[in-house]
């Protein structure tokens, strides 16, 4: 990606908080010298502070998207490593372990949802403040978002502990698979308060235009995760690669490694924010209760929380459908084992294609929010469309890989026949619909970054419950197309959702959203 000269090129004074912007059209002509009026008008519409101040659009996208892409690439690799570890536990329990881990992996998605609402509230407010040069507002938004992340983390921890058995039951797991799922979820619950700091803090830094520190923190988190999960789980990769601890905790060991990594990441995030990044720093005074700012963070964040919760709950129903399908396709009253595992392996590989879409969505959200703070809706729209175009190209190319190399990708995780029977076909279906995933991901994240979370909630909930669930049940269960039919429904619904998000974006109401 090349940088072209424009009015947004480097400004040597961009590190300083600018004076408040003035609308010169509202002042008598005699009170405004011509040169000064032209200077003020030139400043309106430009990002006023933070790391993106004075950057061209292409460079700003590069600054934001590249670290986020690398960060999420590592997270996807860690998720894949978890599956590899589970696939190399005791041969007698590998299918049950993969099923249990597959269902439990959805709790990671839930954690992101639970903390993402607070994070997007802080991110959107910080982006507006940074774009408009309002330092005190940015600091207060950060402080209140972090205060909420700790308190909410405690609530989420209790919910995870109590809800773990219900999640295993709802997914149709039994015996060792159910036990592995419950233990995994409950171990992660202990790390929730600091996990909140890790996730919300990273999103707040994105709002300020800094994606490098979140990347560096996640590098550390992922290294700790991979090493500790291997040490605790007892997974073996040949005789020369065995855990020196001699522990054989299995799936709970994988969860313990993840929990330790989250604890480390939360502490490092807190240290970075207290130390401060460009034009944003966490202070004890800003963490003192401020009901006005707290309310603003919550108002923006609540719709996203319920949006994510609606989508997550819908996918729990999908897991329930898979349980029904497993019973129907089983023999002698015993469910067919491995369907949950085949599903989650395909989801894990598919998550790699989401990485560029998510990274460009973060860039679109931060840029759109900051340009709106700078009173420049036209640049907010242009930045979003640029991110959509790049994301669509990359994700479509990855879809081609899924189409032609599904078998090879499946074998990298496991050679179990049930996985090889299903996962390559699922990857073909996903590969053919990647462009819709790209449109949906980038535009939705851009709308969130502008604070338009109520509309993203309504679109996602409508699409999930009135299209996704009925279609998955009809195709997968009623018409006996099984797991493949469920994936036809999932990917087809994403196409509808992409159209709805595109409609909201071009409608333009997001540009006038007050937060």
Digitized pLDDT (tens) for each residue of the chain, 515 residues in all: 433 333 333 333 333 333 343 344 444 444 444 444 444 444 457 888 777 888 888 898 998 888 888 877 777 777 667 766 766 665 555 555 566 666 666 677 777 777 887 788 888 999 999 988 888 999 999 999 999 999 988 998 998 899 888 877 876 677 777 887 888 889 889 988 898 899 999 999 988 888 899 999 988 998 998 888 888 876 665 555 555 666 677 777 888 888 999 999 999 999 999 999 988 999 999 999 898 999 999 888 889 888 888 888 888 888 889 888 988 888 776 788 788 788 888 987 888 888 889 889 989 998 999 999 888 999 999 999 999 999 999 999 999 999 999 999 999 877 888 889 999 999 999 999 999 999 999 999 999 988 899 999 999 999 999 999 999 999 999 999 999 999 999 999 999 999 999 999 999 889 888 88
What's 22's DSSP letter? -
Q: Measured in whole angstroms, how far is the alpha carbon of residue 210 from the centre of its chain?
A: 17
Tell me the three state secondary structure of residue 280: strand
Tell me how far apart the alpha carbons of residues 284 and 117 are, in angstroms, rounded to a whole number: 22
Tell me how far apart the alpha carbons of residues 138 and 285 are, in angstroms, rounded to a whole number: 13
Burial of residue 434 (CB within 10 Å: 0-12, 13-18, 19+) is buried
What's 277's DSSP letter? B
pTM: 0.74
Q: Which residue has the tokens 């200077």?
A: 39
Tell me how far apart the alpha carbons of residues 348 and 77 are, in angstroms, rounded to a whole number: 9
CB 390 within 8 A of CB 471: no
* Residue 277, beta-bridge partner list: 280
Q: Which tokens sit at 248?
A: 């054989």
* Residue 280, beta-bridge partner list: 277
Tell me the three state secondary structure of residue 505: helix
CB 402 within 8 A of CB 459: no
Tell me how far apart the alpha carbons of residues 485 and 487 are, in angstroms, rounded to a whole number: 5
CB 388 within 8 A of CB 443: yes
Q: What are phi and psi of 334, to 5 degrees?
A: -100, 130
Return the pLDDT at 271.
95
Tell me how far apart the alpha carbons of residues 347 and 73 are, in angstroms, rounded to a whole number: 14
Number of H helices, E strands in the chain: 19, 0
Q: Which tokens sit at 333?
A: 């009253």
């Amino acid at each position: 990606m090349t940088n072209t000269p424009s009015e947004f090129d480097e400004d040597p004074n961009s590190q300083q908080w600018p004076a408040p912007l003035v609308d010169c059209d509202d002042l008598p002509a005699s009170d405004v010298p011509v040169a000064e009026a032209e200077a003020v008008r030139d400043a309106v519409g430009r990002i006023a502070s933070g790391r993106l101040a004075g950057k061209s659009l292409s460079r700003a996208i590069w600054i934001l998207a590249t670290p986020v892409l690398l960060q999420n690439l590592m997270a996807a690799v860690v998720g894949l490593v978890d599956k590899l570890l589970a696939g190399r536990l005791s041969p007698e329990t590998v299918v049950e372990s993969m099923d249990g881990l597959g269902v439990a992996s959805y709790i990671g998605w839930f954690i992101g949802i639970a903390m993402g609402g607070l994070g997007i509230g802080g991110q959107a407010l910080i982006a507006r403040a940074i774009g408009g040069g309002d330092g005190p507002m940015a600091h207060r938004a950060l402080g209140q978002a972090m205060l909420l992340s700790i308190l909410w983390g405690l609530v989420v921890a209790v919910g995870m502990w109590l809800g773990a058995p219900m999640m295993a039951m709802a997914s149709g797991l039994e015996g060792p698979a159910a036990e592995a799922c419950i233990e995994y979820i409950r171990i992660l619950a202990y790390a929730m308060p600091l996990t909140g700091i890790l996730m919300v803090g990273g999103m707040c830094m994105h709002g300020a235009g800094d994606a490098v520190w979140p990347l560096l923190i996640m590098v550390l988190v992922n290294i700790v995760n991979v090493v500790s999960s291997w040490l605790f789980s007892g997974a073996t990769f040949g005789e020369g690669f065995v855990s020196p601890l001699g522990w054989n905790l299995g799936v709970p060991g994988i969860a313990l490694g993840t929990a330790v990594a989250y604890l480390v990441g939360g502490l490092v995030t807190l240290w970075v924010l207290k130390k401060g990044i460009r034009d944003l720093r966490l202070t004890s005074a800003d963490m003192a209760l401020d009901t006005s700012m707290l309310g603003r963070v919550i108002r923006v964040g609540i719709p996203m929380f319920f949006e994510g919760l609606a989508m997550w709950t819908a996918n729990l129903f999908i897991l329930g459908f898979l349980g029904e399908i497993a019973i129907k396709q089983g023999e002698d009253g015993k469910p067919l084992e491995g369907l949950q595992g085949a599903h989650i392996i395909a989801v894990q590989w598919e998550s790699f294609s989401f990485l560029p879409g998510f990274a460009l969505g973060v860039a679109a959200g931060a840029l759109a929010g900051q340009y709106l703070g700078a009173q420049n809706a036209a640049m907010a729209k242009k930045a979003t469309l640029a991110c959509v175009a790049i994301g669509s190209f990359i994700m479509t190319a990855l879809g081609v890989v899924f189409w032609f190399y599904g078998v090879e990708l499946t074998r990298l995780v496991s050679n179990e026949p049930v996985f090889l029977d299903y996962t390559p076909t699922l990857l073909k279906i996903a590969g053919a619909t990647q462009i819709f995933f790209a449109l949906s991901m980038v535009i939705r994240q851009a709308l969130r970054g502008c604070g338009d979370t109520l509309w993203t909630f309504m679109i996602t909930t409508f699409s999930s419950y009135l299209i996704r669930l009925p279609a998955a049940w009809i195709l997968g269960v009623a018409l006996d197309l099984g797991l493949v039919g469920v994936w036809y429904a999932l990917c087809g619904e994403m196409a509808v959702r992409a159209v709805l998000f595109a409609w909201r974006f071009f409608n333009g109401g997001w540009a006038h959203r007050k937060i």
